Structure 1
């Protein structure tokens, strides 16, 4: 009899198999649950023609992996090293396609904007990298001056030194800029004299073209032209990837390439000491992961052409960048006898192997999304030990993560009021500690003036009692309504004029200064006769009225006797 299995609250059939979360699978066999490890295909190690050590790439389950080559394209000065390790020198000053998908899959493209630089403008430098991804245009560049400043733009708007959204992350370490696009595992690093772009072999294998070549571990097709054919010369190929740039009209009709080569002169052996550092034990651990020959060759090419040996620093910097990205920390500047020394701003310290994303107070509090590659390093200027960068939008280093009014950093012991709470930058927690504000006790207020009433209203965070005139006009009748004034937070007072007496016919209303109401003064003759309820009113002149008053002072002999004029 075949017996099934019971798994938690589920009845399972004999022979049924399911996966567990720890790379094991469970099978029901005759009433018993048999646990076994997930079987994976053998992982062969390829030989990567670009000299990089293959990396492990796990499948979606995270249980099985295969080895794949790394697709890394770099440049130091005018020297290019393609995805498959092809080294060539290219010195033009237009805008070119660096990387483009042969078949559009991820909406990803990189252009390189080059310009003349150097003491006499005879060399070319990378002015900017323009990265296009989805509907974004991301520009990485640097502003020259007494101190070089990193700048990043997203769709034409400059963003802070650290910028993050759901699609990509931009970080800066003063020395260089770094762009990470997690979904396609792309990493772009930029400095004026060098750049590095890494794409995953699994996503871009055989689907790239441009000055960086084809990511396919085959150097034979690196010099691919826009029409798909292969050119024997990579520098000639690189020039064909020129794109129209309205800021460079001189690139629209470039001069023809010379057909004859200049005569070569016998080369004098040149082994600059600064270039030998790349091949020395200083980079010994990195040699195991990244072949140094191309960077050594680029260094010699630059130094031997220039009277300034400091130009070799670019090749060392480019190689050290790749070492850091391969999790190999190399402290190389201190062995160049000051030739490649880098001075950081006064509030920062140099670190050859700092984090790809510098920690900030927001990230410490769990409010930041800026998480970089934790197992990689990045050279740059960082906050001194014991201090933290206040936020990704500022380069201020603080000893305590206290955010005061308007988001400004506060020092230990500083006090302030925020949202009706008394806050202090606490020396123990190194953060802001806030408690409800304690309001001072107010002396009793007595309202003694006529028309005053005692009211209580908010004065900032605390209630305050004051005397308020209930009615400003003694001739008004006022009452307190149930509606509240939004500005004073007091109930609205509604007032209306007092109603004075109305005068009967024959009388005139006369106001009295200083009094709310006047009185009625007779201004006409009023005749009342027996048997008639309605009096007779006769208007008289002022003179007649005065004479009438005199006559009426005498008592009449009969009730019906009147003197009329």
Structure 2
């Protein structure tokens, strides 16, 4: 090396490199060989890697494991003495609103004037990863490369690299890793990820510089200043203490299976911390997909030392969910090859799992996410095109030009077309797209209903208009179609209804159609009914009538269930009761039966002389030769007239002498009078039927004397003698 010795002289002296001492890395990683400040001698250093996953579990830069469930924004890494302008924040949220544990939702990398936020919008399934810059609303178009910062996506992880510092930050479904070179950050970090000093004893460093006994306690103090006092950002110094109920079919056992998928890596990196975090997640997180993060993080750590493990095929819940057209690889370049690769561009030399193009294919561009076999152009629809390939786009003839590697389009030309003449009603000349050549227009005769003439809707009686558009026509036409009716004298008749016809004919509208389409009127000669019921006789018709009529000749009534006939004026009585009779009388043109019942006068055998009792001439009442005229029951025929209805009744009365006298009483010294009257002793109400002039009958009730006798009464001086007359009742 050169050394200035004065006098404008330089002395060249040999520089002896110290003996390289072996280094054991506290984080279990292999040490790396680096040059010293003069870039002359080499020595071993332990680069720093901080990992976090699950709900969440941390392994610090120096390999210390702890868990912390804060659900706010914290410092993951912050320089103790600002040198490179780098700090990294973590934004934790509850994995599930019903649970107390939290998961990493975003990392914020602040470097120089740039602030890049890597965020996962779907913690419970297929990751929805986006990157934002400086609080912009629109997410970055990946890959992003500016001012020494590069961001790539593998569909499973986002990878950010700071090229000058060899810093690599990876953020995925629910986990992250931060790789820092020791030569830039050794002993100069603090936060959740510890001190990067290759000594776990000072990893739980507080902002004050003191060291806490427990990193879970330390983590509370690295809350972002703007979140202090924020609702929900309370210290989480005590981890969940609920009894552990590990899922019986948990995938955690894959980590420690000595003959399983991860067995090859066990000798290089211990799975203990990852297994511990996986069991914790299985106990306290309902979403089983969180268990996968422990396996993802361990597999990523193994991949960094060259051990690639295709572990996802051993589980049912940790699917890669690659999009169509891509395949899953457990180890692949974060910076995937594409048609836009430039050998002069820096390449991100970092291996990670992700979704890659199949063998023999590459990305069309870094941004397109489309895999192609050969490079060319991307058409306006985003479809890859090979060089010199021709295609049509929006009526333009396009070609993928190899010299410019762009799509060049020119408008298509259309052939000239003759104008048609539109002759039929309703057709109008219009300009429209040619069906055989959608890029060109043609003139055609198009049907437009507003151009059609009015339609005549009038039809004859029995017909109705039918509107239809004939094939090949534009405008509707009206035709008169017959209804299902009969027509006579401009009147419509429904089927089975009566229709006026000729004399002595019965006409009706049939259900069969005639030659004109209307229903046919059918007529039949009227059939006369000449059979009459009992008591009637058929009388032949006059010249003006079609049929004769049945004329009544007898009265008909029922006796003991049999019909009995009586001629006009003829009377009939039942043999066993001569007091009743029925007479056939004519009332207008109708013969009707009137009934009559004889009411016999009161009859007392005690008033009769012996052997003189006999039946009267009417065959109903009893008569006899009476004894002397003492007080007795006398029967007389009495006419009854009531409201124009009348009849004659044998109405009994009391007549005869009683013991009446006047004599001197010696005891009284005066005349003594004794009067006795012949009057009724027993009587009852009786009802009879009166015949009226209009042929009707009414009921009439009177007092009927049944027994007579002498009864005492007061004696009075008669004013005059009364002339005895034959009684006659007239009732109003």
Asked whether the two chains share a fold, i.e. TM above 0.5, the reply is yes
Matches within 5 A, 1:397-408: 397-403=371-377
- Unaligned 5+ segments in structure 1 are 1-14, 19-24, 26-37, 441-565
Pick the aligned partner of 1:298 from 272, 277, 302: 277
Pick the aligned partner of 2:101 from 117, 123, 146: 123
Q: Is the 8 A contact 1:83 1:215 kept in 2?
A: yes
Following superposition, the deviation at residue 301 of structure 1 comes to 2.2
Pairing 1:65–2:65 present: no
TM-score, normalization by structure 2: 0.48
In structure 2, the partner of 1:414 is 389
In structure 2, the partner of 1:187 is 168
Pick the aligned partner of 2:355 from 377, 381, 389: 381
In structure 1, the partner of 2:185 is 204
Rounded Cα–Cα distance in structure 2 between residues aligned with 1:16 and 1:134: 41
Pairing 1:350–2:324 present: no
Pairing 1:140–2:115 present: no
In structure 1, the partner of 2:339 is 361
Following superposition, the deviation at residue 225 of structure 1 comes to 0.8
Q: Equivalent residue of 1:278, what SS?
A: helix
Superposed CA deviations along residues 289-311 of structure 1, whole A, max 9, x for unmatched, are: 43322112212222244576554
Q: Equivalent residue of 1:137, what SS?
A: strand
Q: Equivalent residue of 2:376, what SS?
A: coil
Superposed CA deviations along residues 506-564 of structure 1, whole A, max 9, x for unmatched, are: xxxxxxxxxxxxxxxxxxxxxxxxxxxxxxxxxxxxxxxxxxxxxxxxxxxxxxxxxxx
Following superposition, the deviation at residue 110 of structure 1 comes to 0.6
Higher relative contact order (CA 8 A, sep 6+): 1
Q: Structure 1 222/16 Cα, relative in aligned 2: closer, same or farther at 3 Å?
A: closer
Following superposition, the deviation at residue 320 of structure 1 comes to 1.0
Rounded Cα–Cα distance in structure 2 between residues aligned with 1:308 and 1:148: 14
For these two proteins, the number of residue pairs brought into alignment is: 394
In structure 2, the partner of 1:329 is 308
Matches within 5 A, 1:96-111: 96-111=74-89
- Unaligned 5+ segments in structure 2 are 1-9, 414-732
Rounded Cα–Cα distance in structure 2 between residues aligned with 1:270 and 1:399: 45
Superposed CA deviations along residues 102-153 of structure 1, whole A, max 9, x for unmatched, are: 0000001011111112373432111211111111111111222874321111
In structure 2, the partner of 1:371 is 347
Following superposition, the deviation at residue 257 of structure 1 comes to 6.1
Following superposition, the deviation at residue 212 of structure 1 comes to 0.8
Rounded Cα–Cα distance in structure 1 between residues aligned with 2:236 and 2:384: 62
Rounded Cα–Cα distance in structure 2 between residues aligned with 1:234 and 1:57: 31
Q: Is the 8 A contact 1:403 1:432 kept in 2?
A: yes
In structure 1, the partner of 2:69 is 91
Following superposition, the deviation at residue 288 of structure 1 comes to 4.3
Pairing 1:340–2:318 present: yes
In structure 2, the partner of 1:81 is 59
Following superposition, the deviation at residue 90 of structure 1 comes to 0.3
Q: Is the 8 A contact 2:340 2:364 kept in 1?
A: yes
Higher-Rg member (1/2)? 2
Q: Structure 1 65/407 Cα, relative in aligned 2: closer, same or farther at 3 Å?
A: farther
Q: Structure 1 425/208 Cα, relative in aligned 2: closer, same or farther at 3 Å?
A: same
Q: Equivalent residue of 1:320, what SS?
A: helix
Following superposition, the deviation at residue 58 of structure 1 comes to 3.4
Give RMSD over aligned pairs. 4.0
Matches within 5 A, 1:374-523: 376-403=350-377, 409-412=383-386, 414-415=389-390, 424=400
Following superposition, the deviation at residue 358 of structure 1 comes to 0.8
Structure 1, 99-108 or 159-168: larger mean CA deviation: 159-168
Q: Structure 1 404/202 Cα, relative in aligned 2: closer, same or farther at 3 Å?
A: closer
Pairing 1:218–2:196 present: no
Rounded Cα–Cα distance in structure 1 between residues aligned with 2:338 and 2:44: 35
Q: Structure 1 16/406 Cα, relative in aligned 2: closer, same or farther at 3 Å?
A: farther
* Structure ranking higher in helix proportion: 1
Following superposition, the deviation at residue 92 of structure 1 comes to 1.2
In structure 2, the partner of 1:47 is 24
Q: Structure 1 392/240 Cα, relative in aligned 2: closer, same or farther at 3 Å?
A: same
Following superposition, the deviation at residue 86 of structure 1 comes to 1.2
Superposed CA deviations along residues 250-278 of structure 1, whole A, max 9, x for unmatched, are: 156x37967xx99887x799997632322
TM-score, normalization by structure 1: 0.62
Pick the aligned partner of 1:312 from 283, 287, 291: 291
